[in-house]
Each structure stands twice: as C-alpha cells, then as structure tokens.
C-alpha cells in the first residue's frame, strides 16, 4: 500500500459458506489484517452473517440427463422447488452456467416467482437438447432470490468409461504386447476412470482370445495423474478375488492383463470386455508371437584364476534362434559383488542378428576392487624419498623379521580366505531384450596365490670342479596386470639366517635332511641385459652390491635369470635365494 494514498485498495475477497457453520458462534467473528512492519497496529474488521434456517428442495432426478449412443429427441422437464424457510422466497432470475448453454435452455420463467413458506411451486421448464460437443456436465444453475443465491445442480452424463494403457506403453487406446517369445509371459496394466457424475457398477470383465487373463489390481479415488504417480505400488497390488466393483464418480479401477505366449505363433489379436449398465467397453489386444529363443554362451562361464592385481575377463555371447533381429535392452549383474562387472564392446550393435551367435559384452572379475583387508598380495613400492634399508653385509637384525612378517601376514590372509571357501565366487548376469527377458549366465571366479616362477623350483647342478663354474636357468613370469619388482638376495646376507631357514623349511615343507649352507656365496644370480630398465621409483635392473640382483617384470612379461655355481671347497652345498 502506497503511503498517503487516499483511495481504497482491494487486498482480498471474503466469502462465507453457511454449510460449514455448525453452530451459531461461527456466524460472526472478526478478520485481522496485519502489516509486515511491526510498528503498525493490526486492523480488526468484525463480520456478522445471517444464516437462515431452511433450504430450497428439489427433485435431483429432474436435473440429471443421460446422453445416449445416438442423438435423441429434446427433453423438457418442469422444475419444482419446495420452500422450507419460515418466510416467502422470491426468485428474481435463473442463470445457466456457460458450459451448459450448448445443451440447455430455460423456458417458461416469468420473473419474479413467489414461493410461500412450506409450499412447493413450478418455477420453470428445463429444455435439454443432447449434443456431442460436450459429453459430461457437472455444474449448477444459479437462482437469484431475495434471501441468497442458490445453486441448482445440473448434470449430464454418458455412462461411458474413460480408459488408458499405463506407461511405459506409448499407445493408450489398445493393449500392445509388441513382439513376444513363444516361451514368454508378459503383463500390462490399464486403467478405467469414471468421469460421470453418477456411480457406475462394473458388472464383469472378460477376455477374448487365447493365452489372455485379467485381474483387478486396485480401485481408488483419483485421476490420470494420480494413477501414473502410484504406478510402482499398483504393479505389486492385486484384488484377484473380486469379480465386480462399483466405481463412484471420480474413482478409477486398474486391471492387469497377462499374455502367456505358449503354443501361440504369429500375429495374435484379442480383446478385453468390461460390462456396465451403459456399455460393453471393448479394448483391443495385439501381439506378435515369435518362435525361437535367446541363449547365453557360455551359460556357465568359468573365469581363469586371479588375485588382487590381476583382472580376468571372458566374452559373453548370445545365440539368437529367432527369425528376426532382437534388440538388447539391458545387461546387469544380479550380484552385489562389485568385483564382477561387464563392459559393452565398442562399436557393438544393439541388434542381435537372426540365426547367429553375437558377442555382446566382456564379463570382468577384478579381485582388487574394494578388497580392503582381503588384499592378500601386493605391497606399495617405496619411492626414493622414503627411508629403506638396502640389503648388505651389515644387514640390520630385524630386516629378515620384517620380511617374514609381511609374507606371513599376507599368506595368513590368503589361507583364511581359502579355508572359508572364500576363494570360490560366483555371480549371475541377466540380459533383457525386447523379445525375451531374464536370459541368465552364471559366472564363476576363483582366487589364487600367485607365483612368478614358471620353471622348476629345485635347481640341481652337475658335478663341478673347484674354481670352475656351472650354470642353471630360472624362468620368471609376471602374472599380474602391474609391474613386479624383484630382488634376489642370498640367504647369507641376513644377520641371523639359521632362524630364517627354520621358518622357510616349515613354510615350504622342505626336507630337514638337507643341510643348508648359511654363509656360502658360491651361488650367484645374474642376467645378461644390454638395456636394463629403470622405474620411476628409482629401482634399476641389474646386479647391485653383494650379489643382489634387481629385476623388473612388466605385466605378462617373461624373463630368465641364470644361477652360477662356483665351488670353493669340495662338498655338497645348498643355498637359498630369497626374492
């Protein structure tokens, strides 16, 4: 409101509905107007309503009109009103709502018309001419009187039901199952709505055609928007024990139609029929039944053994025995194990060619995904900036202990997994197409304890003279998807090798008869490489001090190293190399 404004400004419209006033104390009161600024005092406007005790009675059937299938003759109905008030009612005017003027006219109204207390009288004649321009009318004729304005309901109805097929179906006027496999069953929901101003009795519902069935799902108050919003709940509901239902005005019913395609082939036509007092509503049903099937290859996929750091995969194929193309809609894992996943192939078409086996995806198993405490292999490589002990003659007392603890901790984790059968895992993948759903493939994976030695673990050297040498070869292969850094360290370089040997004999079930020389350096590991590798961490291939050999194996790479035996004394010698 502008300051110093002399004119009044309309800020609201006040209405009083006497039908909601249940007691005399509600006939009066005050309206409070408050400004946002707290400095202004509130304005209070008292109100008083005079509520008259009585009503104008009428015959409801006289203002209810039914539009039939074919155009009918005009209808004239006299309108009588009964005055229950304690005073005379004088009717000054009768006004038709705008939407009713296409079908109604007021005849024989000589204004004003007087109705004495507790008496009835003829007021006017309502002339009705059916029109296809407006099917349903639910409105009021306005009576202007000396007491108030009265509403006289006027209603026009066909008795017909509105219906539509629920999403995700695009076509709403018929039930289209599309293309179905002969081994498949499919469901579609459709809704009927009573938009008439009267209740309708749904006497029965029937199917026409083989393979079809129908059941009532739900009946509630609402409209098209309400139905679509409650679709998730409706899909789970069922009222299959009911065979009839009464729909009040503004209510709907939802039905589920099921088509079982077994023993059917080709174009399939059917119908749903819903019977009321006013019509037999017929909804067409269409489907194309295709003979054939889709099968996963392999149906049971067994992936190669793997471990954290080694991802394995295998291709998933679909055999299409149908005589037409089939479109892939979805591939998904039914398992919650994130280590199993799939990737569609680049350039792969969505369509499966008829009579062919098509590769549609690769199924992967990555043991390193979210493995947490279960990652039983792999250690972070120390960078140059991080302190580390270089093995040598003066090796610290606890270095071998740390090496062993790391190995034991990881191996214990692996044995715990294996003993609880946690090394064998499986998942289920589902493929859905436009023609067939729930095509399943079982995936089995197995965890393993990896090894980089691909040659015999026991080297046996021939008889060798002192101050002469003989050589044997060890082949190493990296099974992981990441580089592996290897050091060959003679046991003699450890400060307390005897304790370490006892642990090794126990761990690897070595023969205790074998006598291990704890101090000999008569065995040397070497490799001829013209271009030694150097990693970004500063780890360089080749021999370092004190007979230590460094080696880098790239993912999947295989290398050989040689072990040279140069005896100093005439004796039987055993030495262990750690890597």
Question: pLDDT tier at 399 (50, 70, 90 boundaries)?
Answer: low
pLDDT-wise least confident of 67-81, 83-97, 349-363: 67-81
Sign of the torsion angle spanned by Cα atoms 441, 447, 452, 457? negative
Res 82 pLDDT > 90:
yes
Instruction: List the beta bridge partners of residue 306.
Output: 447
My answer on whether 328 and 286 are in the same domain is: no
pLDDT band at 496 (very low <50, low <70, confident <90, very high): confident
Single residue among 272, 290, 308 that ends a domain in this structure:
290
Listed in sequence order, the residues at least 6 apart from 218 whose beta carbon sits closer than 8 Å to its beta carbon are 234, 237, 239, 253, 254
Torsion, CA 395, CA 400, CA 402, CA 405, rounded to 10: 180
Beta-strand relationship, 64-66 and 149-157: parallel
Domain termination site, one of 412, 446, 480: 446
CATH number of the domain where residue 336 is located: 2.60.40.10
Domain check: are 338 and 258 in the same one? no
Distance CA 124, CA 107 (A): 6
- Which of 29-33, 120-124, 352-356, 543-547 is predicted least confidently? 543-547
For residue 425, the number of C-alpha atoms closer than 13 Å in the C-beta half-sphere is 24
If asked whether residues 283 and 305 sit together in one domain, one would say no
Q: How far is CA 240 from CA 3, 213, 426, in A?
A: 68, 11, 38
Structural domain includes residue 104: no
Asked whether 258 and 272 are in contact (CB, 8 A), the reply is: no
Classify residue 400 as exposed, middle or buried by CB count within 10 Å of its CB (0-12, 13-18, 19+). buried
Burial class of 1 by CB neighbour count within 10 A (0 to 12, 13 to 18, 19+): exposed
Q: Are residues 222 and 313 in the same domain?
A: no
265 plus 331 within the same structural domain? no
Same domain, 402 and 431: yes
Residues 316 and 423 in one domain: yes
pLDDT at 573: 55
What's the whole-number average pLDDT of the chain? 84
pLDDT at 400: 57
Return the higher-pLDDT residue of 536 and 499. 499
- 397 versus 248: the higher-pLDDT residue is 248
Same domain, 243 and 328: no
> What is the domain extent for residue 361?
295-446
Contact 225, 301 (CB under 8 A): no
521 and 506 co-located in one domain: yes
The larger pLDDT score, comparing residue 394 to residue 382, is at: 382
Position 389 scores a pLDDT of 46
Assign 532 a pLDDT band (cuts: 50, 70, 90). low
Check whether residue 197 and residue 284 sit in a common domain. yes
Count structural domains, the chain. Answer: 3
Over residues 410-415, mean pLDDT: 85
Secondary structure letter of residue 493 according to DSSP: G
Domain membership flag for residue 28: no
Residue 517, φ and ψ in degrees, nearest 5: -80, 115
Report the percentage of the chain scoring pLDDT > 70.
89
Reported pTM:
0.57
Is 411 contained in some domain?
Answer: yes
Say if 4 falls within a structural domain: no
Higher pLDDT, 353 or 522: 353
Give me the mean pLDDT over the 559-573 stretch.
77
Domain stop point among 258, 290, 322: 290
**Are 436 and 550 part of one and the same domain?**
no
Assess if residue 75 is contained within a domain: no
How do residues 117-138 score in pLDDT, each as one tens digit?
999 999 999 999 987 666 788 8
Instruction: Please name the residues in contact with 260: beta carbons below 8 A apart, sequence gap of 6 or more.
Output: 185, 211, 213
Contacts 24+ apart (CB under 8 A), 456-464: 459/563, 461/565, 464/565, 464/566, 464/567
* Whether the Cβ atoms of residue 204 and residue 271 lie closer than 8 Å to each other: no
- Predicted confidence at residue 526, as pLDDT, reads 79
The answer to whether residues 365 and 247 belong to one domain is no
pLDDT digits (tens, 9 = 90+) for 503-521: 777 777 766 545 667 777 7
Confidence of residue 113 (pLDDT cuts 50, 70, 90): very high
User: Domain for residue 72, yes or no?
Assistant: no
């Amino acid at each position: 409101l502008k300051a110093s404004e002399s004119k009044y400004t309309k800020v609201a419209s006040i209405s009083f509905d006497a039908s909601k006033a249940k007691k005399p104390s509600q006939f009066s009161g005050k309206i409070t107007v408050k400004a946002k600024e707290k400095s202004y005092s509130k304005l209070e406007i008292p109100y008083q309503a005079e509520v008259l005790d009585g009503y104008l009675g009428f015959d409801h059937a006289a203002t209810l009109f039914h539009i039939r299938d074919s155009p009918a003759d005009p209808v004239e109905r006299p309108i009588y009103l009964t005055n229950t008030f304690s005073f005379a009612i004088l009717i000054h005017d009768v006004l038709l709502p705008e939407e009713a003027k296409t079908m109604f006219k007021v005849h024989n109204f000589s204004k004003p018309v007087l109705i004495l207390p507790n008496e009835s009288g003829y007021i006017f004649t309502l002339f009705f001419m059916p029109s296809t321009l407006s099917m349903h009318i639910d409105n009021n004729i306005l009576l202007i009187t000396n007491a108030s304005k009265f509403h006289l309901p006027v209603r026009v109805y066909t008795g017909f039901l509105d219906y539509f097929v629920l999403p995700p179906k695009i076509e709403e006027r018929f039930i289209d199952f599309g293309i179905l496999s002969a081994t498949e069953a499919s469901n579609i929901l459709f809704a009927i709505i009573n938009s008439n101003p009267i209740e309708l009795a749904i006497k029965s519902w029937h199917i026409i055609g083989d393979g079809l069935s129908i059941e009532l799902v739900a009946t509630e108050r609402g409209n098209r928007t309400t139905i679509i919003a409650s679709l998730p709940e409706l899909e789970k509901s069922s009222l299959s024990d009911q065979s009839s239902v009464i729909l009040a005005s503004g209510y709907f019913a939802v039905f589920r139609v099921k088509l079982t395609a077994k023993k059917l082939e080709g174009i399939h036509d059917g119908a749903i029929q819903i019977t009321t007092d006013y019509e037999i509503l017929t909804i067409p049903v269409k489907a194309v039944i295709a003979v054939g099937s889709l099968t996963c290859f392999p149906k049971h996929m067994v992936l190669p053994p793997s471990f954290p750091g080694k991802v394995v995969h295998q291709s998933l194929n679909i055999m299409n025995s149908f005589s037409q193309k089939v479109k892939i809609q979805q591939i998904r894992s039914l398992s919650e194990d994130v280590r199993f996943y799939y990737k569609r192939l680049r350039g792969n078409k969505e369509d499966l060619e008829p009579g062919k086996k098509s590769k549609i995806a690769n199924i992967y198993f990555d043991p390193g995904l979210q493995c947490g405490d279960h990652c039983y292999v792999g250690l972070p490589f120390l960078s140059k900036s991080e302190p580390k002990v270089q093995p040598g003659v003066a090796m610290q007392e606890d270095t071998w202990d740390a090496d062993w603890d790391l190995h034991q901790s990881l191996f214990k984790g692996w044995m715990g997994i294996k003993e609880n059968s946690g090394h064998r895992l499986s998942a289920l993948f589902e493929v859905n197409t436009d023609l067939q759903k729930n095509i399943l493939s079982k995936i089995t994976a197995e965890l393993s304890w990896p090894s980089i030695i691909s040659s015999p673990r026991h080297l046996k050297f021939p008889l060798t003279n002192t101050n002469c040498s003989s050589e044997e070869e060890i082949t190493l292969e990296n099974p992981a998807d990441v580089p592996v850094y290897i050091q060959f360290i003679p046991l003699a370089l450890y400060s307390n090798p005897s304790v370490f040997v006892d642990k090794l004999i126990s761990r690897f079930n070595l023969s205790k008869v074998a006598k291990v020389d704890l101090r000999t350096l008569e065995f040397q590991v070497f490799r001829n490489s013209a271009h030694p590798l150097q990693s970004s961490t500063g780890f360089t291939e080749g021999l370092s001090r004190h007979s230590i050999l460094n080696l880098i194996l790239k993912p999947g790479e295989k290398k050989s190293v040689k072990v040279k035996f140069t005896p100093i004394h005439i004796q039987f010698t055993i030495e262990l190399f750690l890597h």
